[in-house]
Amino acid sequence: MKNYELLYIIPNQYTEDEAKGIKEKIDGVIKSHGGVIGYENLMGKRKLAYPIDKIAHGYYILTEFELEDGTKLKEINDFLRLDKEILRAQVIAKKKITPEEIERQKKQEAEFKEIETKDDRSERPARAPRKEERPVAKEKVEKKVEAKPLDEKLNEILSGDDII
């Protein structure tokens, strides 16, 4: 028997209970084609890397199964591709995960979550300190001219006879 891994995404338009029902339907299809389901991981609702058919979130489900006949794999893959309840699905051949490896993965996930909870945003500064601010350009200083000499010059010009 050859071991396979199936990762599929159920759109967010379904509730979590409906997603579990769809998962059971997929498991039934695998079993009906002679597959033996081993490891399963409901990864939960996650944001997609990019929207697919205007859908931005989905329920990720990982299922490992064994299948004896390779032609049955094509039938399972065709079913997944044509099913309207499945947004995306991918089947790959993979070596079987042992129970020890599963426990190790769960410990790593728990440690990662523990580290995430310790990393509190209040410990980090709100923003990185800026480099020295750029100096603001100095305002132009205008020389003040007294109005008396200007007024006298203006009167002299206007009093002349050469004005048209």
Q: Indicate if the pLDDT at residue 17 is higher than 70.
A: yes
Task: Tell me, yes or no, if the pTM score tops 0.75.
Answer: no
Spatial neighbors of 16 by CB under 8 A, at least 6 apart, are: 45, 59
Instruction: Domains for the chain: give ranges and CATH numbers.
Output: 2-118 (3.30.70.60)
Q: 42 and 59 in contact (C-beta within 8 Å)? A: yes
pLDDT value, residue 63: 93
Report residue 139's pLDDT band, with 50, 70 and 90 as the boundaries: low
> CA dist 47 to 58, 110, 123, 137, Å?
7, 21, 27, 47
Q: Where are the beta strands (DSSP E) in the chain?
A: 2-11, 36-52, 55-67, 88-93
- Cα–Cα distance between 80 and 106 in angstroms, integer? 28
- Which tokens belong to 51? 């929207």
pLDDT digits (tens, 9 = 90+) for 59-95: 999 999 998 877 889 999 999 999 999 999 999 998 8
